[in-house]
Amino acid sequence: MYSISDADVSSGNDEPEKVQINLRLTRAFLDDIDATWKDQGFNSRSEFLRHVTRDAVKHPDFSREGWRQIAASEHQLRSGETELVSREDVRSMMDRDRDADAE
């Protein structure tokens, strides 16, 4: 069995040794992963999974709850339950809040 740190060790050439792993996912989750890596411009599912796994390991301060909130927001956007808000809209909302607090 290899750990992430084992997989990051150089095998003597310029690239670290890559180790194949097996991962069981639901079909629906795999479909979401496939749609995501393609939408985000990754070259492959493996490249995407390496990227997100590396981020999770190197940035553990981002909580699981934070990821849940992002996933919930993404679901709401994709299902049409909510809409994207532009930067200008956010600024306008902040200005309204600030003006209301000043009154």
By C-alpha distance, which of 17, 1, 5, 15 is closest to 53?
A: 5
Cα dihedral across residues 44, 27, 59, 73: positive or negative: positive
Angstrom distance (rounded) from CA 11 to CA 54: 19
Q: Where are the domains of the chain?
A: 1-62, 63-103
pTM above 0.85, yes or no: no
List the alpha helices (DSSP H) in the chain: 4-7, 27-39, 45-58, 64-79, 87-102
**pLDDT of 99 strictly over 80:** yes
Q: How confident is the model at residue 12 (pLDDT cuts 50, 70, 90)?
A: low
pLDDT at 2 (0 to 100): 37
**pLDDT of 30 strictly over 90:** yes
pLDDT at 27 (0 to 100): 94
- pLDDT tens digits along 41-93: 899 999 999 998 888 888 777 777 777 787 788 888 888 888 777 788 878 88
